[in-house]
A and B are shown apart, each in its own frame.
Chain A
């Protein structure tokens, strides 16, 4: 293949077509949450596909926090997210969560997230201790359900989340220094003005 791109010209030849893949032969799905500033709640940013939680963390850092300043992020397997029904208008999703008797046995921590505006992201509102995701939703209803309509609730067991350690927070310290990724680093006004004056 003759190309203008020297890198393309160096590529090895391969068979004409890629052999068919097995159906859905792809990595797992992980949800990504980012904290934009210290003290601000974590917000859902999107997903990455990865072979494990650690790789998901690394890929999430590149995909979601390489551009804008933030303090930290965490990731969790999508299968660990328990979601309430999605509602609209004046219907509160919490109204569709039926009370269940408190469960015995060990209680673990669950992180709770709200969607308060359709079209926007889920935001972290706090945590509860419960014996199951369902019980966590019921407890969240008592603890976090205020007068504001909540369209969707997520509950995630805290132990399933790959959090950022204190030392790892250094990963984001150099973000403000990378000015070459900012529009503000490309001021061409003076050069343009000089050029236009020379033309006149």
Chain B
């Protein structure tokens, strides 16, 4: 589960000017032909840096994203829901592993990434810094946050970096279960008692603003990404991804009789795009900078896990194996 768009630094075009122009032209031609870049290929420093940043944040989002859902495993309604949710959370952590591996091929060791996460240096999707008060919050994540992630991931799977695309192909295949499971849960709440419907409506009201943040700042204010789009690092603008999500899922939410807490939300027949109330980007910035409702708790849980697992890692350590960069 991952929201894109909030991850790129402003690009200093100077760094591209320092690259070998012949190699750069060959690199760009290869991408333009639709070929994938592999770890041993030449690549501009900016490409490497932005990919590490993006894939690493994606991996962190999978690991941290498992926490707000994982909290509901013990309280899921019934044995089948518990089993499904456990399988889903296990998948999310597995996705983190696949993505860390892809980022490692670019030269950043996994331990360094984990250290950057628990020390607050690296970012992850803002949405996982919000609390899951009820089972309905958990169902919102399973259905709609995963849906948003799939929109991003399907687009990024067509990107240019081979190891990331291969990881995403596998992740997207696994996510289809998550999406169907999440929708199934929400259909049961929607068609259940008045209390169950109310519970999901309240969850929808709570999660809609973070869901709109999920795709990153509006194109009007987000960093310049033309080069990253040309290099197929970023496969669509934040607003394009948000619009695609709204196109696919607003009708499904309305079909279930729920109200989306935005009086301005409607499809504009002239532009073919959705009009909506501009999300509160100040809140977005506050949360991404560590001041969200659960930022501290999420990192603390990871930190404790790291500290408590230390003796196991120490006991298993041997000089017979060695960390090396993965091949592909």
Contacts and interface: CB of A to CB of B under 8 A. Distances in A.
> A and B, one complex?
yes
Interface of A: 1, 3-8, 11-12, 14-15, 17-18, 21, 24-29, 31, 44, 46-52, 55, 62-63, 66-68, 77-79, 81, 83, 86, 88, 115, 118-122, 152, 154, 178, 180-188, 191-192, 194-196, 198-199
A4 B132 contact: yes
Interface stretch (B2-10, B160-168, B215-223): B160-168
Given A8-B297, A186-B183, A194-B191, A28 B307 contact: no
A164 B41 CA distance: 33
Contacts of B318: 51-52
Nearest to B183: A188
Instruction: Give the one of A1, A47, A115, A182 with max B CB within 10 A.
Output: A47
B206 interface: no
B323 A28 contact: yes
A78 B326 contact: yes
Contacts of B191: 191-192, 194-195, 198
Interface in B169-208: 173-174, 176-177, 179-181, 183-184, 187-188, 190-191
Contacts of B322: 28-29, 79
B133 A4 contact: yes
B188 to A, nearest CB: 7
Given A21-B115, A29-B325, A46 B101 contact: yes
B328 A181 contact: no
B3 to A, nearest CB: 22
A1 B297 contact: yes
A13 B184 CA distance: 38
Given A24-B323, A186-B181, A191-B187, A7 B162 contact: no
Contacts of A29: 322-326
Contacts of A66: 90, 94
Given A8-B71, A18-B307, A77 B321 contact: yes
Nearest to A15: B307
A63 B98 CA distance: 8
Given A29-B326, A49-B323, A67-B91, 14 more contacts: A4-B131, A8-B297, A12-B304, A14-B304, A24-B109, A29-B324, A44-B328, A46-B167, A50-B321, A66-B94, A67-B173, A118-B35, A192-B191, A195-B187
